[in-house]
Each structure stands twice: as C-alpha cells, then as structure tokens.
Structure 1
Amino acid sequence: MRLRPLVMLCLLASPANALTFQTRLERVQWQVEGDRFECRLVQPIAGFGSGEFVRRAGEQAIFRLQSPQRWLGAGSATLLAAAAPWQPTRSDINLGLVSVGGGEIPFNSTHLQAGRLLSGLLEGRSPVVRHRTLHGGETLEIRLLPARFGKAYEDYRACTAKLLPVNFDQVRQSQLGFPSADVVLDPRARARLDIVLQYLHADPSVNRILLDGHSDNSGNRLLNRDLSRRRALAVQDYLLANGVPQEQITLRFHGERYPLVANSSEANRAKNRRVTLRLEREAVPATASAATAGPSS
C-alpha cells in the first residue's frame, strides 16, 4: 500500500504492530465550539481528521471520529480508555465495541462510553479506537491525548450549561392531553408548551406550527368535533399569548375520526382526547420530510 508522505509521518508503530494515528504531544490542542443547540469538544488528529465529544441539547454526550479519508472499514471497533505510559500501575479500560459504518463519521459511541472516556481524560487516560483499515486490512489505532485537557473541559462544561433543555427531534411533535369533556389546558400541558416555546424563541428556522385537535367517541359527533376545535384553539391561544405569530399556526380539528387507540376503555379514551402539535422548519432535507395529506396522529 502506498501512502502519501504526510500520512506516513503520522503513522507510528504501536506495541501490537498497528498503524497508529495520533498528534505529536507538543502539538496537541483541544477546541471547544457550540451554541444553545450543541456543544463540541474536539481534538484534531494529524493525518486522520479529529476525535469529537458532541453533546446535543436535551441529551448526554457521544464520542465519534471524523475522517475525510475514511480509513475505517465497516464492522466493529474496540473503544478503550487507555492508561498513559507514565501510569505503569494502571491497565487499559475496555469500553466495548462500536459499530462502524461508512461515511466521514464512521460511528457514534453510546452516552455511557463517552462519559467514561471524558472521566478517563480527566485522569490522564487516552481515548483509543482499534479497528482495521479500509485499505488492506491492517490493524489501525486512533489515539487522542489528554494533554491540555483540563482548561478545554472547563470551557466545554460552560458551553453545555447554556444548552436548551430539548433539541428539535425531541420537541418537533407533542401530544397534549385533555380531561373528559374539557377544553382547558392543565398544568402538564402548559409545562410542555413552555418547553416548546423556549425552543421556538431560540430557533428562528421553525416557521410553521401545525395543531390538530381530536376527541374520544363519547357523546355525539357534532359535539366531539366542537370539542376538538376548542381544544386546538386553547393551544393556539396559549402560543399567541406567548409571542408566536398567528401566520405561523395552522389549526385543524377532527373530532373522533382519528383515534390513536381503540376507544375501548377510559384509559384509551384519555389518549384520544388530545391536540397534536407539530413543528416544521424552513428547510427540511428530503429524506426527513414527509407529505402530510391527512392529519397527524
């Protein structure tokens, strides 16, 4: 296998005769980037790409690699919190496997694995990924170094303290329940709407809110249709009173026509008495968008 000179300079022989990517100790740097939606703690890896801890709003951190050259082939890689050479009394901690796929970001760790890697870095351990290369099948090792980690971690923690309580995927659709024959928002529904509003005020790309009112099958159809309308209006009024523009809201009501579950018990009927709130953004990738000819469930 012929390698470019820059890459050759970054490949070191490990004790297991693996090809190892790591940055020279004196050149190690950590970068902290982020906003209210996501925080990233990144170490560039010479000749490879980077190792990144990424924490989205409403979630715990994950660890991942990013490599434009796509060195890792599909399969499984081992994730380690490796002891430093100057820690002879410590052994490496095996954090288990990660599933490797294609693309520039070949895997995402679990939240637990990322948390243990961060704890290890604070103790002087190195995050290590061991796998085989896509080009020829050699054993491959990618290593991050703990040098200069303390200050970067403080900056990362300061970033995460400013994250929103939820991300778009968690808030894009909400079910707001109503007591039997009632059209008044209860404390639980208002609390959920307050979280939605906090997100809306932070993300100007959300420009459409769809409200669909529903009822159970108690009473006659005309009454149920009116109940579903008034429930949707109650949600709309709450949004308007908290600064959401009227033109962004689309309101529909359906009575008992679209139950979530069969109206076979009181518990099921309670699930069907609801308003579904759905958020849409200005530009949604084609793979994530969906035509909505009928109402949301």
Structure 2
Amino acid sequence: MRSTRQILRKSLLAIIGGTISLSAFASFKHYEAPMDESRWYFSGNPIECKLIHNIPMYGDAEFRKIAGRQEMLGFNLGYKRQAIESSKVARVMALSPSWQPHQNNRELGEVTLKTGPYIVKSSESSSWRLLNELEVGRYPTFYYQEFNHLEDQVAVSLSSIGFRPQYDKFLDCLTSLVPYKLNELTKMTLYFDFDRFSVKTLYKERLYALAQYIKYDPSLEVVFIDGYTDSKGSRYYNQKLAERRIDSVKNILQLDGVKDERFKTTAFGEKKPAQSNRTAKGRSLNRRVLIKIVQNG
C-alpha cells in the first residue's frame, strides 16, 4: 500500500509537469503531521470558535469565526519558517489517502501566499471547502515553490486524522455564537415603564449577548450600570426604584463565574434627568438604565 507521502510526491510531479524526473527534486519538502501525531484541537465559547491543527516544523492551521451576524468563517495557515522572498501562488489540491482508494484527488484552485505569520488567509467559501474535504477524509495540500529555483518545492498538508470529533464540536459552537459584535453592545440605554423595574423583552437578546462578552472576553474591564427614574413619587422611593432597575439588568449580565467587582453601579434616582419631567414623553425617557463598557488596552 502506498504511503500518503508517496501520493503527495507523485501529485506534485503531475502538477508541475510529469516529464521531470524525481531526482530533480532533491529539495522537495513535505510538511504533514505523522499519522500517530495528527491532532485537531477545538476551543470555543459563545463569542469565538476555533479549530486548530499543528503541522510540525511549519505552523498551525486554524479555522476561526467570531460572534456577529456579518462575521465570516476564516482559515489561516500559520508560518514560522524563513520569510517568503516574493509574491508566490500555491496550487491547492485535496488528496485522497491510500486507505480510501475509491476517492479521487480534487483540484481546489490557487491561492496567493502572504508574507508574515500567516502564509494563507482564505475567504468563507474557501474555508468551508477545505472543511468539507477534511470531513470526507481528504488531505487539503498546498504546493508552492519555496525559493527561486524549480527544485525548491514544498507541500503542506492538513491531515484528516482525528478531525471529525473536534469538527463536530466546532459546528456546535458555530450555532451558539451570539449575533452581535462587541462594538454593537458597548453602550446601551434601556427604558422602563412607569413604576416598573423588570427588563422589557425587546432588550433581552442584546443583554444576553453582552453577558457572554463580559464572561469570555478578557478585554472587558468594567461594566458601568447607571439607573434613573422620572420625578414622580418621593426621592427616597425613586432612589430605591433606580436600584431595583440596576439589579434587574445586572442579574441578566452577571453569569456564573463573573466576579461582582466587574460591575460599577450607581443609582441616581430622579437626579440628572435626560429630558424635562414636565411632559409624559420626557418622563418616559428619564426612566432608564445606561450601560457602558470600558475595555483595557
């Protein structure tokens, strides 16, 4: 039975023209995790999902998606070797391993290689195609010329061994990502009905999303929650009502494990009105809670 490495070497020859003899490729290098060392690692939460595969002596292949309705799935191929000297194009193929003879190799197109820590950065459609090939057991492989000589050829493969269990977790994570980006949640104003402190249903989805960021995003340093009322009723009663409004919001935002000192709360009661209390419209705008996020760095 032919090894995967033998298949890759022959595929590379076919790509650049099979008339060249194998001896011409003395500098051919193939980077791939050995079968007994191939590992995929999943990490995720409601604001970020990652699926990572280490390629020894080369770098990490990473699929990643962050929270937000418009955010796309991306693929990055890490690169820790000598910097590429000039712009290059890599040929991409999905290779069928020797233990799946019923499958054929598939051409996946070309990608332009980049300088820096990530040699490949793919769009959402290309990322999903790589995942689909891994799911059926193929090895997505990038072929390119390393230096300026034809014999300096490189193949970099993503192994499908150990992929599917972690991929299943990754897919579950994608379905649980919150639909908001952090910059959509850093400032919020919530309005309350007269003499009420329960949070309206229309605000709860955004509050649940913000709660996930507070728990999982280490850049969120402090959450300020300020409570206000209109001028109806006594000052003492309004002060207590503002505190209850703060508590109802904080109870949603403070998930298990989030320390109390992450929140800075101030009940202003009827002080500092946003609008005049002489009109019903103005009073409705004064019955509010303001949320503001401070990020470190």
With structure 1 as the length reference, what TM-score do the two structures score? Answer: 0.57
Q: Distance between the aligned counterparts of 1:123 and 1:64, measured in 2?
A: 21
* Percent identity of paired positions between Structure 1 and Structure 2: 18
How far the C-alpha of 1:145 sits from its partner, in A, is 4.4
Structure 1 gaps, min length 5: 1-10, 214-221, 223-231, 257-273, 286-297
* Matching residue of 1:262: none
Structure 2 gaps, min length 5: 1-7, 17-24, 232-241, 276-287
Alpha-carbon spacing, 1:237–1:22, altered in 2? closer, same or farther (3 Å)? same
1:43 aligns with 2:43: no
Written as runs of structure 1 = structure 2, the 5 A alignment for 1:201-216 is: 201-203=215-217, 206-210=220-224
How far the C-alpha of 1:65 sits from its partner, in A, is 1.2
How far the C-alpha of 1:181 sits from its partner, in A, is 11
Written as runs of structure 1 = structure 2, the 5 A alignment for 1:174-193 is: 174-176=187-189, 185-193=199-207
1:34 aligns with 2:47: no
* Conservation of the 8 A alpha-carbon contact between 1:126 and 1:146: yes
Alpha-carbon spacing, 1:136–1:249, altered in 2? closer, same or farther (3 Å)? farther
Q: Distance between the aligned counterparts of 1:124 and 1:188, measured in 2?
A: 45
* Matching residue of 1:248: 263
* Matching residue of 1:271: none
Q: Distance between the aligned counterparts of 2:216 and 2:33, measured in 1?
A: 40
- Describe the SS at the equivalent of 1:155: helix
Written as runs of structure 1 = structure 2, the 5 A alignment for 1:95-134 is: 97=111, 100-133=113-146
How far the C-alpha of 1:109 sits from its partner, in A, is 1.6
* Matching residue of 1:84: 96
How far the C-alpha of 1:81 sits from its partner, in A, is 4.4
Alpha-carbon spacing, 1:198–1:72, altered in 2? closer, same or farther (3 Å)? same
Written as runs of structure 1 = structure 2, the 5 A alignment for 1:135-154 is: 135-136=147-148, 141-148=154-161, 151-154=162-165
**Pairs aligned (count):** 247
Cα-to-partner distance string for 1:82-131 (whole Å, 9 max, x where unaligned): 2437567554122x545x44322234322221111111112233223345
Rg larger in structure: 2
Q: Distance between the aligned counterparts of 1:145 and 1:101, measured in 2?
A: 18
Equivalent residue for 1:156, pick from 132, 153, 167: 167
* Matching residue of 2:19: none
* Matching residue of 1:63: 75
With structure 2 as the length reference, what TM-score do the two structures score? Answer: 0.57
- Describe the SS at the equivalent of 2:119: coil
Alpha-carbon spacing, 1:247–1:40, altered in 2? closer, same or farther (3 Å)? closer
Q: Distance between the aligned counterparts of 2:48 and 2:213, measured in 1?
A: 13
Cα-to-partner distance string for 1:177-217 (whole Å, 9 max, x where unaligned): 6599999854221221122124324456633024689xxxx
Q: Which amino acid aligns with 1:279?
A: I
Q: Which amino acid aligns with 1:197?
A: A
